[in-house]
Amino acid sequence: MSGCAKWVEIKREDADEGPYQVQQVEFQKKVSNSVAWYPYGYNALAPLTTPAAMIQQQGDSRFHMCASPATRPLVATGENVVFHPVTLSKLHFLNSGNVEITLPSGSLLCNVAVGDTEISAPLGDITLTAQNINLNGSVSVGVSAPASTVTTPTFGLTATTSVVMTSPSTTIGDGVNDVVELMAELAEFIRDAQVQHSGVKSMTAATQAAADVLAAKIRTLA
């Protein structure tokens, strides 16, 4: 086996298909076919001019492992990184125990066909920072916590069926609780009007009177 290892270069891009990925490589201006070989559970399709180490056995049996020394992210002793040599996106396992996912461009996508996706930090915090954060549930969206705080210049809540808020104490911004309380008072006025008046005209008058009282109270909040 002495002298069978050679430095080669990828010379033709082929589709990744079939049980083995076969690429054309060049050594000393001679082009030949070679099987791309990667660690178990890992796969890639190296582009043109990528350097590789080729092992040539007896006859035409060849396989090679590609490298990307020029664009590799630097690591400390003991660390590991999986990266894209072109976009430089990377998954970095640091000695501190942290795992860093870095995307200079593009999006981070997590697709689960069947099953659940769980993010758990029982002794830590989970922070989501973005221009817009959307939570979409085809059945329901549940938030359960001893204390929940939402701080934003604008907060929109849209439901096609219903919105249910259950809490011993609910705080929704400055002045909003007062408006909610006044709306409850309006409901009480209307209920009393239904009890005291049976005619449609009287009911309309009672409702108008309740609305006038509500409007006057709301104006005092300005």
Assigned token pair, 106 = 């593009």
With bands split at pLDDT 50, 70 and 90, how would you rate the model's confidence at 131?
Answer: confident
Q: Both ends of the chain: CA-CA distance in Å? A: 89
**Which of 7, 44, 45 is closest to 26 using CA atoms?**
7
pLDDT beyond 80 at 7: yes
Provide the pLDDT for residue 1: 47
Please state, for a pLDDT cut of 90, what percent of the chain lies above it: 34
With bands split at pLDDT 50, 70 and 90, how would you rate the model's confidence at 193?
Answer: low
3-state helix, strand, coil in the chain (%, to 5): 20, 20, 60
Select the more confidently predicted residue: 155 or 129. Answer: 129
Select the more confidently predicted residue: 123 or 156. Answer: 123
Rounded to an integer, the average pLDDT of 136-160 is 76
SS3 56: strand
What are the CA-CA distances from residue 25 to residues 10, 16, 42, 68 (Å)?
A: 5, 15, 21, 15
DSSP E strand boundaries for the chain: 5-12, 22-27, 30-36, 51-56, 62-66, 80-83, 90-93, 99-102
pLDDT beyond 80 at 133: yes
Provide the pLDDT for residue 105: 92
Which pTM was predicted? 0.63
